[in-house]
A and B are shown apart, each in its own frame.
Chain A
Amino acid sequence: MSENGSTIRLRLAAVAVFVLFACACGGGGGSVAPPRADAAPQRGGTLVIGSTVDADAWNEYVSQQTFAQNLLRRVYARLAQEQGDASEHPPDFEPLLAASWSFSDDGLTLTFKLRDATWSDGTPLTAGDVRYTFAAQTSPAVGWTGASFKEHIKDVQVVDPRTVAFRFDRAYPEMLADAVEGGILPEHVFSKVPFAAWRTHDWSQVRIGSGPFLLESWRPGEEIVLVRNARYLEPERPLVDKVVVRIVPDIGNLETQLAVGAIDYVEGVPPQDAKRLTGTPGVELVVFDNPMFDYVGWNGAKKPFDDPEVRRALTLGIDRRAIVEDLLYGYGKISTGPLLSTWWAADPTLVAFPYDPDEARRILATKGYDTHHPLAFELTTNVGNRVREAVTLKIQEQLSRIGVKVAPRSFEMKAFRERNVAGNYDAYVAGWRFNGKLDLASIFGSKAVPPAGSNVVAYRSAEADRLLAAIGAAADWTQAKDAYAKLAQRIHEDQPYTFLYEGKRIAAFGPRLRGLRIDVPSDPLARLESCWIAH
């Protein structure tokens, strides 16, 4: 329902299933690497990361937290690593545990040839580990919330210790992405714990991996130490010997430590702090796309919000540029629809509705609303999200200019969610974050009205349903792109949401950090193995 720091994985047995991998900054792809020109990379040293949150669990398939998962991706390598090039086409992958892969003639079997990798304890990493991982990912007892990545994979077969085949029930554009999703686990260690006990097992004691780093120690609430894996596939990587994560809930403290050089990397700098940090000697800010958007959801099951013209009028009355400038300090972009502007399926010709209070007033007048009979409604959001709470106030102020009376209200997260699912609201401000699958059918499909799905705004459009089905049935991404464009246009005209803005995330680099490239925004630490510390 909303972006709340955790990975949101949208699933359900819906037809339209596409992987949205947001790409790099600026809408046009490319890297947002810090242009810190320097001498040759140096080896050794300890990289210190500052984090306001601690890890929730040391098992990717049980953890529900983005930060922990991003660290675990450095410990348990995947078959292939996603590249940050998703602006023109679905993202490419470069070999990691897999040396190569190929599709069968019927396009239903994807076969991976594994590299000669070993676990950090010296045990060979084999096709059996891949098959075991698939069993864990799809085990109902484990209850992995990302299991829908695997919903079209019928089974995983060990051809020989270095060859593994994924058999799909149908061919579709994101087969490779779905197959490689998730770190490969060591069967000889993890199988000692039955799947049914995974959720109540303390995984912090498991000190094995195949990635560039291994978990060395964890002091909950205080410090995580990752150490270089000497048996990593790339003998020249990682460049640093250790990564220490210092956990301090207060971002101001982390920024102070960054400024004095005690911390090398902080992610999630609040936009209001960015200007101050820009002026700090040695500190460099890196801005990258946050794969999310915030929106106003209108209750389509309730008058007058069931009328697309009223929704359009309200969109015209909301000055989204002022919201981006005043509340996000410019670190954002006006959103045009559910397809992020940096994603390959987005239609760059789609233009957001302008801020046009006169037109908004005119439309509302034709619907019988004027200063004597004003449109009045409650606009809710969740407590604790200061930006969204400010957005509700801003919208109240902006819509008051066209004679609309808005009563902003904040609810505790869970109460907010329950009200929305029950349809007990007029309008709300929330957001969607896409770290994995984007299942638009579960947000805008007419069959996905709660409790079946997340179409909280009760949007019903026969054309949208048809396009969602077409997206689901597309055999390649060019076909899908066409359907996506038409769907985006349909949603744009109907405005079930007023799309507010796409976010940006700000990372701050301390004086010693070199060579950290952030090109996969859903996984900012993807290049951790290549960064280094200036001694």
Chain B
Amino acid sequence: MLGLIARRLLSAVPLVAGVLTLTFLLVEAAPGRPADLLLGDGPVTPELRARVEAAYGLDQPAYARYASWIGNALRGDLGWSLSRGRKVTSVLADALPHTIGLALAALSIQLLLGILLGALHVLRPGGALDHGLGLVGLLLASVPTFWLGLMAILLFAVAVPIFPPSSAHSIGANAWSFPARAIDVLWHAALPSLVLGLGAAAIVARFVRAGLMAALGEGFVRAARARGASQARLLWVHALPAAAGPVITLAGLQLPVLVSGAVVVEVVFGWPGMGRVTYDAVMAQDLPVVLAAVLLATILVIAGNLLADLGLAFVDPRLRLGRTASR
């Protein structure tokens, strides 16, 4: 197991380097210069432009800037954000916890809800509930996130105002105690994480349904039934772990999507996370932030895959046995 992790981590190094280089080249190839952002839209004297570019090191050739960014990044300094007037590390330090919190909440919702719905599906395969849930799932998976977000706001923040319509904190929450602030954040995260998790939950439910259907027909489940196991035990203890494989892979792949791809939900709900930071940085050609965001997303993809593989090995006894036997 440790060998697997080490091999994966080693193979990640060239991957990260490649992705970063490609990102740098892409941003560099885009028209315009980063200093345009700092100089506004009016005419600018060449002297002023040169001064401003020098202040941020933008007067250096591209390869030199890239090399210096990599060098600094290895020492933990991710550079200066041109569009946000702060260190990139502090931009990330503000946005990342919000994003990870939202992603974990959404992931929990999609897994819990997905597994529950998937199990309901197989109660009576082909029955009215199965078809009904299938239809609802199809709808949820197809509806655009921004629309779902706006509807959630109209329903739960305006018509029945039980959740806040935006942001991650209440006004004045700074002065509250830690538990009060934590509850406040959870309360604010309810709608965005539900919207983010709902569409994915429908997809998870399809996977769980398929997995359960296959598992329920397997010999070990029939054997358990013959031993007198209850329907619930058959489903949750015997069939579900066997059906969990694809779901865990899916969840692993979803993690980076949730972290970097939540931009729509973050915009609609004013959630101060990584999606918005990344999007704004790309639009502003804020290269240090773009590189840092891509670095983070790459690490998350690799970590997500690794976690999914480890999770699979954990739930599927065959994989563990296979590995042990092969050693």
Contact = CB atoms under 8 A, between A and B. Distances in A.
A binds B: yes
B158 interface: yes
Contacts of A145: 39-40, 42, 44, 48
A220 B267 contact: no
Interface string A307-318: 000000000000
A262 interface: yes
A249 B270 contact: yes
A222 B153 contact: no
A58 B87 CA distance: 14
Contacts of B30: 412, 414
Contacts of B276: 221, 249
A253 B86 contact: no
Nearest to A443: B43
B94 interface: yes
Given A219-B272, A220-B272, A9 B40 contact: yes
Interface string A75-91: 00000000000000000
Interface residues of B, number: 55
A246 B166 contact: yes
B139 interface: no
A248 B270 CA distance: 4
Interface stretch (A123-131, A172-180, A199-207, A333-341): A199-207
Given A12-B45, A414-B31, A221 B154 contact: no
A450 B56 CA distance: 25
A412 B29 CA distance: 13
Contacts of B168: 222
Contacts of B55: 141, 143, 196, 199-200
A256 B157 CA distance: 9
A143 B35 CA distance: 12
A533 interface: no
B33 to A, nearest CB: 8
A256 B39 CA distance: 34
B24 to A, nearest CB: 17
A476 to B, nearest CB: 26
A3 interface: yes
Contacts of A440: none
Interface residues of A, number: 65
A257 B165 CA distance: 7
B174 interface: yes
Interface in A193-224: 196, 199-200, 202-204, 217, 219-223
A292 to B, nearest CB: 11
Contact of A256 (B80, B86, B165, B172): B165
Interface string B147-166: 00010011001100100011
B40 A8 contact: yes
Contacts of B36: 414, 417
A143 B52 contact: yes
Interface in A140-199: 140-141, 143, 145, 147, 196, 199
A217 B270 CA distance: 18
B158 A7 contact: no
A262 B270 contact: no
Nearest to B167: A222
Interface in A1-48: 1-4, 6-13, 46, 48
A70 to B, nearest CB: 15
For B38, B48, B85, B267, the residue with the greatest tally of chain A CB atoms inside 10 Å of its CB is: B85
B269 interface: yes
A262 B285 CA distance: 34
A62 interface: yes
A64 B39 contact: yes
B257 interface: no
Nearest to B38: A64
A63 interface: yes
B268 interface: yes
Given A248-B166, A256-B158, A48 B270 contact: no
Contact of A223 (B43, B157, B167, B268): B167
Contact of A414 (B32, B46, B157, B174): B32
A6 B84 CA distance: 14
Contacts of A217: 174
A54 B95 CA distance: 14
A453 B43 CA distance: 6
B43 A10 contact: yes
B232 interface: no
Interface in A435-485: 442, 448, 451, 453-454
18 contacts: A8-B41, A8-B42, A9-B42, A57-B84, A59-B85, A140-B51, A143-B51, A145-B40, A145-B48, A204-B86, A220-B272, A221-B94, A221-B273, A222-B167, A246-B166, A248-B270, A250-B269, A454-B42
Given A202-B86, A217-B174, A223-B171, 4 more contacts: A8-B40, A222-B168, A253-B165, A414-B32
Interface of B: 30-33, 36-48, 51-52, 55-56, 80, 83-87, 90-91, 94-95, 150, 153-154, 157-158, 161, 165-169, 171-172, 174, 266-270, 272-273, 276-277, 285
Q: Which 8 A-B pairs have the closest CB atoms?
A: A414-B32, A248-B270, A57-B85, A221-B272, A415-B31, A222-B272, A454-B43, A199-B55
